[in-house]
Amino acid sequence: MGNAGVNGFNFLITTLFDLFAFVVMLRFLMQVTRADYYNPVSQFIVKVTDPLLLPIRKIVPGLGGYDIAALVLCFLALFIKLLLLKAVNFGGVSAGGWAGSFIYTFAEVIDLAFVVFIYTILAMVILSWVSPGGHPISGLLRSITAPVLRPIQRMMPDVGGFDLSPLAALILLQLGRIVTSSLLGG
């Protein structure tokens, strides 16, 4: 495969697997934050993830009321992506590389949780300017972001009628991503 073919394959695999992992992590966080299951956006996410999630649930039970199967599916999607990329770019994974790939993927799952919170906060802020409360996704975004924003809102008063907690949360979430990356030497 030529360089353009490899680059195209890398882009396609990364995009598809990352998007799927994002949606699965979003589903997990919706459950953790007790977001409205009957919201049309929630229903879409459930329908997209159920075909692969339901078989894993038969093997991986929930733990403490949390859908651990969703985390396993997220991990598997990111792990398979990494293996495919290594196969195409480096000819495969060496025997010693499996442990490193496993640890890297575990950190990628943690990073993805930060990313999902970052994007949901950004979407909530933008939607609050464009269409405050007028879209089905507004309530869903508020439900998902509330556990992150609420503690910050208690500590930070509004400044001139503006809620700056999303800005503080974005800074802290990005800091979490940096710490996660640095722990792995990235």
Domain boundaries, the chain: 4-185
Give the pTM.
Answer: 0.90
CA–CA dist 183, 80 (Å, integer): 22
**Band (126; pLDDT cuts 50, 70, 90):** very high
Q: Which amino acid belongs to residue 157?
A: P
Q: What percent of the chain has pLDDT over 70?
A: 95
Residue 170 confidence (pLDDT) above 90: yes
Quickly tell me which residue has 């995009």 as its tokens: 15
**Band (186; pLDDT cuts 50, 70, 90):** low
Nearest Cα neighbor of 119 from 162, 76, 169 is 169
- The first and second tokens of residue 70, run together, are 């969703």
Q: Cβ distance 180 to 107 under 8 Å? A: yes
Residue 185 confidence (pLDDT) above 80: no
More confident residue, 137 or 91: 137
